[in-house]
Structure formats: structure tokens, C-alpha cells
Structure 1
């Protein structure tokens, strides 16, 4: 792994925040320091850029404990765990984040921490532009020894690791009492004891005559005075360096449940979320508009089809069945060709186009029937009007382009009827 940044968080205002950048490849500290409080996390943005960030929770802000798993609860263990601890906790389990650290048969080793604290830490880190890869207890980052404890003093408190999933943060004033309360027997060894002192303490020596029964504590900072246990010094190191190395190899990570990390691709898509939502709404609106438009055009096309078939049956009553639109077009074109003649100058249609302006000017006259004789080159129509003068007006207008022969006019009641024959001027 490349360089990474380790930050030991704090839960109280004005409590210092220690940090360290460690390089596993070079086996050395790249940078380290201490912030006054969480509000100064943005000062570490440069170190967090392009580096994984491990955040350590002070052991005093969480509870590391174990609970017996009831039979048949294995498959739903994550959901059941908080309620198995309900009687042992003074708080509502819904306000607590319970994370399974290790399962050993019917025993579950868990870490319990308040939601509000995790949310405050993650918010502070997010505001500083940091994405946390691991969130884990600081005491579980100390070296792990089989059958013995490891300990180091940090900020006036002792971090003690008991096992893979157990540890505490203790004030030196009650560290001794806590050690005495552990299941493993304790031997009180005082540096510089003389032989006569050993004889004077003969009862204690008898109890601890078997060295295998003594609780061995490996310490990386000066051992506390007058505290029971067999304290064995290890090569001294910076405590934050020790914790950083442990954080790198630790499998513990409290980012589970509602705090589970999202895949990397979601992180890159997050800034585009609002754009994607807006684009999605635009696409939905366009599709909806298109659907409405298509439905409207389909409805209009059906109306046009129905109207065209109505006109077709009205003009050509001999064709009542219209199997398709192409059939309708063929019949209309065929009828137009028949009426229009072989070229534009022949057929009835050119005649009708020529007389239409005159007929429109004498709107009081109505054409009741029309007959075209192509062989004789004449157009005959029967018309009716309310006055004789309407026929005279029409004859005058048509005489400009045609030879007009007007038949006898008859008046029946209030209507005047008559026939008009038109021939083209030679």
C-alpha cells in the first residue's frame, strides 16, 4: 500500500486531534502533528489528497463487549445484535451503532458507539474533503499478542489491547483496579525489590510462584508506577506510528450498515446526480410530449381517413367498400384521368376551372345538373335562379371566353330555370 493518513478523532470540544502520514514502503513517518480540535481538519486536506484516510475512534467513546448468540439467530445476526445488548445498555438501541467485530462459535464480539458521534465525525471529515476508508477503535490498532496484553500511553490515558476484538482506554488512576478485575491472575512486580522484601511479601510470591499464571503486558511507553501485572518493555515507538501500522493491517471497520462505503464509481457520479436528475426529467418531458404528439397525429390521421372515405363514397357512390388507402387513391386518380382527358386541354375539368370565376360572381344562380360532350366539344348545364337577370349576368361573363347558347327560360313560382350550352371559341 502507498502512503496513508491516520487521524485519531476526538469527541469533546477543544480536545486535540493527532495525525500521522505513514509510508509502508519506506517504513518511515512522512509527516505528523496535532490539531487543536476537529474544526481544523481542513488543514490536513493536502495530506489526505491521493492518500487513503484511516480514522481512529478513541476507545473511551465506544464499548467493546461480547454477547451470546441465541440458537437460530445466525442468519439475521446483524439485525438481532442490538436487541441482544438491550438489557446491558442504558441507552435506546436505536440510537446506537452495533458492529460485529468477530464471531467465535456462539459468541459475538461487538463494538457499540452512538450514531450521533459517528455522524459528527464523518460530517467533520467530509467537510474537510476527506473520504474515510476505515473507521476503527484505536485500542485495536495496538500489536496483538497471544495470551498477553499490549499497552501504550497517549494523552495521559492508557490504551490496552486484550485480544483480537477486546480493549479499553483507561485512566492510570483506575488502570490497576481494572487489571486486578481481569480473569487472568495478576502478579505484582515492583522494580528493585530486595530479597528481604521478597521474603516479607512471601504470601504474594507464593501465589505468583508459577510465572505462567502472571498476566504479561507488553508496553511501548514507560510503564505506570504501582500498577499490578508483569510489564514487559518493547522497543519504544511513536504511539501514533504504532496505531497507524495497526490500522493498516486491521480487519476491523465500523463503516457498516448505514455507514457502509459506496463503490468508487458512485463517488464520481455523486457530483452529477442533480444534473442526471434534471436530464432525466427533460427526457421524460420530451418523451411525454412526443407520445402526446403521436397520439394527436394518429387521431387526426384517422379523422382525415374517415373524411376522405366519406367524400369518396359521396363522389363515387358505386364504390362503397374501401379496403385500403391505396385502393382509394387508385380509384380517384382513375376517375380524374377519365374526367380530365388525355391531356390538360381536354376533359371536363379545364371547363369547370374556367367557368368557376363566372359562377362565383353570380352566387344567386345554382347549377343543378351538368353534362359534358367531348366529341362535340360542348358543356351543357341546367341552372336555376330567382330572377331572369341572373342568367343574363352569367351569359355576359361567360361570353368573354365561350360561345354561349342560352335555352328557353321558364319561371315556375319564384324560380327561373333554364339551360346553358357552352362551346369554345374557334
Structure 2
């Protein structure tokens, strides 16, 4: 088995780039270090020859989630996945690389990352003369624990693995909001001061070494579809023209089979559409025309919410409607993300502004309706960032 060069890349161009060379034969680290940014990747070129390159992708740059798979999707799952996730994603699905990591019965574990990020990482590696064999989410390289989360700190971020194909990369201040008191966490680096839950210390290890071992054994690889790497043997086809002709004929057969698969996939999609319209018309006999599939889904979801009582005001939409006047009064406060916890009945607003004053204005305004807890405010790149947690008053 050859040696491995492992590189961790972030979605921020100015982020540090930790790296490590591991020898399975000697079971030791040959070399390691940290680059100032991704622009210095060419400094690793001397470590690349005769070594397999694995890229650990910052989990903060992607979404790791699960989706219910329709029965009979089978070999067409690659074409079906984007449409299953279309309603849940705020971005155009055509701008996203969606990778099925594993299937568990009718559930599929999925990784989602922007095409622009994938392209920029690959371009940076190519500019440095490097070719990666694997792209693996860094949190999924932590050891898996059956009855506990796994966690380790790397460059100011906490990597947390919750399940086989689920996890996250979080700034330290987000840990208390992301974890719960009943969580058990096996940690490989010193426990944080703001730890929530039951933390159990594991044998301390060099984090990049720990992640490298997990990446080598992992079956996850984001280099699929348009990003699948060309095998090195294809570079040597040209001198073997007769063999290339045979291979070409074989590829033609494969292409025909692929075309047939697409045709069958389209037929299956048409059958699903016809059946869904039949069910819809049986429930809404007064509707004469169905303009689009998304319109039909919205009507079904609206009716389901009405029948199940979800329109009673316990969801996130009533909160957003109530918050709109406050956002209009403080336009200097920009909302960057939000998270609604139904069980706790609380809404967490992550925002930024040019200074601290808009946060105080928002806190005072929102305190008229809610119990407001303001998190730590941080200044970064001439912006002040922070979080407000809202709960309904008793």
C-alpha cells in the first residue's frame, strides 16, 4: 500500500490548510504542517509523487442530510435525488453537487455542496500540480461511536460526527446551541469550556492523523459524476490503437445501455406523475387544470396542514410574520441564517452589522414580544456577527 498525503480544504480562500503525510507500512507520520492559505498548495508538490492524495473537505461548506427515497427508484436514483431535495433547498439544484453516500432501507444519506466550490478546489489542486483520489467530508473521518457522538477540535473548529454519514463542523461558540444535555460526546482533544452534555475523553491523538486514518478506510468520495477522476491508464491508450478501437466499441454499447436507462427513467417519471395527478384529482375534483407539479405539491401540503392542525401557529411561519416589522425598523441588521427548534419553541437568528448598535436595537425591539437571549458578539472582517435566541414569553 502506498503512502498518503492528506490535505484539508475550507470554503474560505484565506483559511489555513493543514496537511499530513502518513505511512501505513511504518504506521507513523512522515511529515505534517499547515499552509497559510489554499494559494500555497504548490508547496506540497514535493510530497505528492508516489503518494495518494486525499482531500478532507470542511463540513461547514456542505449539507449532510437524509431523504426518503421513492420505491422503485433503483438505478435512477441519481436523476431522482435533485427533485426530492428541491423543496428543501434555497438554491437552484442545478448549482449543487448532490452525492448519495449510502442507502438505509427507504432512506438515503446525502452530501450537498456547491458546484463552484468543487470546481475551485479542484482548480487550486491542478494549479499546484496535485490530483486528488478522494474528497471526504472531514467530520465523517472521525471514529464512529455506537452510543455517542465523536468530536475533535481542529484550527478553532469542532468537528462532530453524530452518525455513520451525519455530522458538522462548528465554531466553538455554537456548540452549546447545537448539542443537548442528554448527548454523550467522545472527544479526542481537550474538552471545551462551554461543553454541553456528557463528554468522555478518548486517547488524545494528532487530529490530522486521526482524520487521515478515517479517510483511508472511508467509502465516501465526493469525486463522482462530473468530478470523477480519469484513471491514469487512459493516458496510455494512444499507442494501443487497436485496443482503443475495441474499447471504443465497448463504450458505444455502454452508451446505448445508458440511453436505454434514461428512457426507462423518463417512463418511470411519467408513471409517477400520472399516478400523482390521479390521486390529486380524486381529492380535489373541482380542480380542472394542474399548472405545474410544484403547484400540485403545494396544494396537497396545504390541505394536509389544515387537516392535521399544523396551521395552528406552532410552525416557523408565524414567527417570521411577527418578526418582519422589526427587521424593517432596523435595516442595518442583516440576517445571515436562522434555525427553528420546534421542541424548545425557540428561534435562533444569526446576523451581522457594521457595528454593535443594530444588535442592541434589535434586542430591545424583540424584547417587547419575546424573551431574548443575546450571544457573544464578534467582529470579523469589519463586520460584527452574533446571535439572538428568541422564546415566547410565558
Give the direction of change, closer, same or farther, for the CA distance of 1:61–1:271 in structure 2 (3 Å limit): farther
Question: Which residue in the other structure is 1:220 paired with?
Answer: 188
In the alignment, which residue of structure 1 is the partner of 2:298? none
**SS across alignment from 1:46:** helix
Q: CA deviation at 1:71?
A: 2.0
2:377 maps to: none
Match of 2:233 in 1: 265
TM-score normalized with structure 1 length: 0.55
Cα shift at 1:26 = 1.0
- Are the aligned partners of 1:151 and 1:158 in contact in 2 as well (CA < 8 Å)? yes
- Shift in CA distance, 16/2, structure 1 to aligned 2, threshold 3 Å: same
Cα distance in 2, alignment partners of residues 271 and 97 from structure 1: 35
SS at match of 1:44: helix
Query: Hey, what does 2:34 align to over in structure 1?
Result: 34
Match of 1:68 in 2: 68
- Check the 8 A contact 1:10/1:37 in 2, yes or no: no
Q: 2:203: which partner in 1?
A: 235
Aligned to 2:294: none
Partner of residue 245, structure 1: 213
Question: Structure 1 70/27 Cα, relative in aligned 2: closer, same or farther at 3 Å?
Answer: same
- Please list, as runs of the form range in 1=range in 2, the aligned pairs for 1:45-56 lying within 5 A after superposition: 45-56=45-56
Structure 2 Cα separation of the partners of residues 243 and 44 of structure 1: 18
C-alpha distance in structure 2 between counterparts of 1:72 and 1:248, whole Å:
33
C-alpha distance in 2 between matches for 1:225 and 1:150: 17
Aligned ranges for residues 27-426 of structure 1 at < 5 Å? 27-180=27-180, 186-187=181-182, 215-268=183-236
Partner of residue 248, structure 2:
none
Instruction: Compute the displacement of 1:241 (Å).
Output: 0.8
Residues 22-65 of structure 1: per-residue CA shift (max 9 Å, x gap): 11111111000111111111110110111000001100001000
Alpha-carbon distance between aligned partners in 2 of 1:219 and 1:233, rounded to the nearest angstrom:
5
Unpaired segments ≥5 residues, structure 1: 181-185, 188-214, 277-426
What is the deviation of 1:153?
Answer: 0.5
Query: Cα gap change, 1:47/1:229 in structure 2, threshold over 3 Å: closer, same or farther?
Result: same
Structure 1 residue 268, shift from structure 2 partner: 4.4
Instruction: Give 1:11 deviation, angstroms.
Output: 2.0
Q: Which runs of 4+ in 1 moved over 6 A?
A: 270-273
- Specify the structure having the higher radius of gyration (Cα): 1
CA offset digits 1:104-145 (Å, max 9, x no partner): 000000000000100110111111111111011000011111
Alignment root-mean-square deviation, CA: 1.9
Q: CA deviation at 1:82?
A: 1.2
Whole-Å Cα distance in 1 between the matches of residues 61 and 236 of structure 2? 32
Deviations 1:391-411 (A, max 9, x none): xxxxxxxxxxxxxxxxxxxxx
Partner of 1:132, secondary structure, is coil
SS at match of 1:221: coil
1:129–1:174 distance in 2 versus 1, CA, 3 Å: same
Farther off after superposition, 93-102 or 216-225: 216-225
The answer for unaligned runs of 5 or more in structure 2 is: 245-394
- Measure the CA separation in 1 of the matches of 2:145 and 2:175: 19
Distance 2:235 2:129 in 1: 13
